[in-house]
A and B are shown apart, each in its own frame.
Chain A
Amino acid sequence: MRAALFVTCLVDQLFPAAGEATMTVLRRLGVSVDVPIAQTCCGQVAFNDGFWDEARPLARRHLDIFEHADAVVAPSGSCAAMVREFYPMLLRDEPALMERAQAVGHRTYELSQFLVDVLGADDAGARFPHRVAYHPACHGLRALGLREQPLRLLGKVRDLEVRRLGGAEECCGFGGMFAVKFESLSSAMLDSKIRAIEGSGADYVTATDASCLMHIGGGLSRRASPIRPIHLAEILAAQ
């Protein structure tokens, strides 16, 4: 099996360890991984903020770059959902481009989705001796329907204890520009999420998305909490 890594701009620039970990996990499960060097950003930042004219060239670039891959894997439910679910909407006035988007979209997966649904692997061969709370990131959960996949993978990690997270499916309040445009609302949502994480008795909080973890981690750090954010890929890569 061959797959192209869609590393996402956020992981690339701010959380490279999650990108490295994604490579490690995929290779360990026998996938040969290509990293298309020209990739940058899928355009979600602009798209979600209403700047569709600005997002379109980035979508077009993304399709040019990933069109020839058998499978595209991203350490992010949100960016995978952008390609799978939202490119057809963004590109609807350009039928040829939309067709290409649908084709690439069908082959684009979030990491846990790819491991469980495509490879049929729920054991990544990892060991992580800690208590972990899992936050289901919204786009993965609702746009991609990832309910079981991450938890099945975590369930097979040796010495890992999954702690129950109260109100798990409530958003952490990130939402891209929402976090700055409606800072007070976003912070209030983050506050509820962090209280739930602190109440879970976990040492680590994990998610499929670096964006939510950046938000949650920013809040944990501000409160000088000992709980650490960690990307799901990094847990699956740990041995």
Chain B
Amino acid sequence: MKPSPHIDFDRNAREALGNEFLQRALRSAMVRFRELQAPVIAEIPEWQALRAYAHEVKLHTLGRLDRYLQQLEQEVSARGGRVHWARDGGEAATIIARLARGRYVVKSKSMTSEEIHLNEALERAGCEVTEGDLGEYLIQLAGEAPSHIIAPVVHRSKESIAELLSAAAGTPLPAEPEVLTAAARRLLRQRFLRADVGITGVNFAVAETGTIVVVENEGNIRLTTSLPRIHIALMGIEKVIPRVADLAVFLTLLPRAATGQRMSSYVSFITGPRRPGEADGPEEFHLVIMDNGRARIQADAEMRESLACIRCGACLDVCPVFERTGGHAYESEYSGPIGAVITPLYRGLRAAGDLPFASSLCGACGEVCPVKIDLPRLLLELRARVVRERGASWSERIFVRAWTWVMTRPARLGFAARAARMLQRLVRRRLLPLPYPFSRWTVSRDLPVPPARAFRDGWSK
């Protein structure tokens, strides 16, 4: 794997903050998501217990992945499906490209396929690929990456979407959502009818029955999995769950946390290809089970729970940082708090080590996560790893070491505090500049007025 380039999150954030349209669009979309989610979550009195249960199921399964994945393979095979194992994204893309070679493909929204840049691999194999999800289709037309796990095109205006669809339709379209959606539907319907191969992701793969479950709202996955002759589903190894009964919990949590729906409009349960006597469904069903770095995270006790993520996007919707940067600033398919955790794990601390620091540790993400991933803890763990393994900047090292040196002796603190107060007065009178990076405090904030004396100076009384 070639080393990934360094992600300069601060620079990306500044750029996003300067984009007024993006700021308004993100704010209104995130507020809207939160307003939709809150009431349907509040109506489940056992919500906290369900979160805890889902967390337990995921952690239980992650501790026995070998067993459950083998069971999944057996059950899928027993029902006429074919299972393919992929060590990394390259292998997964090669397997899928081989199955689809030269054919016409429709693909549904899948974060895992984004992760491995599947469309590029398919195009290299001579396939024509169309994204079937409206947002992903627009992203594909624009040649961009999705900017939110479940709202991939949140960064674009309806005017810019009208331009994209007008070009695709070969006729000018007004910037009216209903007209644009109808146009996209007409364009996409032809593709679904023509497709030889349908590719989907997997929300849950049930080991005991070999069933994959896919959740959506547009019906495109239903078409993708029922019209083409071949269905290929791509999953990360962490998507397996033990029992059908567990879905009662996961399907209560996921739609509410993701889109604020009690249930998604379409929930497809797919168990093998079409059987004799059945009216629809593909002739071939392939399940590609991919590692791509997950087994390494599974073996990492402190980070393992990050694999429990069900890709609902709820942590993005409440994150005050994401709300101001959008997804592209993370330079990764996975953005927001979960992205700040898993991108460094996938790409390495050198490339993505800034991301865990790009958080005020407000904890909103950990509070909403429907599978109770302790995201603030994971961010803290990663910060410690970055300092230990990649190293911090020299100015930070000096600051922290000086701080701890001073704080280990009250006498040092007393002396340092008097000196600091003197210096602070000079800084406040602008006779002395603040040292970097503290100079960045005063870009938008005044320094506090230093008190005549510290609390400790009065202790003797």
Contacts and interface: CB of A to CB of B under 8 A. Distances in A.
A190 interface: yes
Interface centre among B366, B407, B410 (most CB of A within 10 A): B407
Interface stretch (B122-130, B237-245, B256-264, B384-392): B384-392
B5 interface: no
Contacts of A97: none
A180 B438 contact: yes
Contact of B408 (A9, A40, A214): A40
Interface string A28-55: 0000000101111101011111111111
A173 B360 contact: yes
A66 to B, nearest CB: 14
Given A16-B454, A52-B384, A182 B9 contact: yes
Provide the main secondary structure of the chain B interface.
Answer: helix
B394 interface: no
Interface size class for chain B? Answer: 35 or more
Interface stretch (B61-69, B225-233, B284-292, B444-452): B444-452
Contacts of B170: none
Contacts of A222: 444-446
Interface string B408-429: 1110010001001000000000
A189 B454 CA distance: 30
Nearest to A178: B360
Interface string A170-200: 1101111111111111111111100000000
A219 B9 contact: no
B10 interface: yes
B362 interface: yes
A111 to B, nearest CB: 14
A58 B408 contact: yes
B2 interface: no
B190 interface: no
A171 B362 contact: yes
B110 to A, nearest CB: 30
Interface residues of A, number: 69
A57 B360 contact: no
A37 B459 contact: yes
Given A138-B362, A142-B366, A218-B441, A45 B451 contact: no
Interface of A: 7, 9, 11-17, 19-20, 35, 37-41, 43, 45-55, 57-58, 61, 86, 89, 138-139, 141-143, 169-171, 173-192, 214-215, 217-219, 221-222
21 contacts: A11-B455, A14-B450, A38-B410, A40-B413, A41-B413, A46-B400, A46-B404, A49-B387, A58-B408, A138-B360, A138-B363, A139-B363, A142-B366, A171-B360, A175-B359, A175-B362, A184-B17, A185-B17, A191-B444, A218-B448, A221-B446
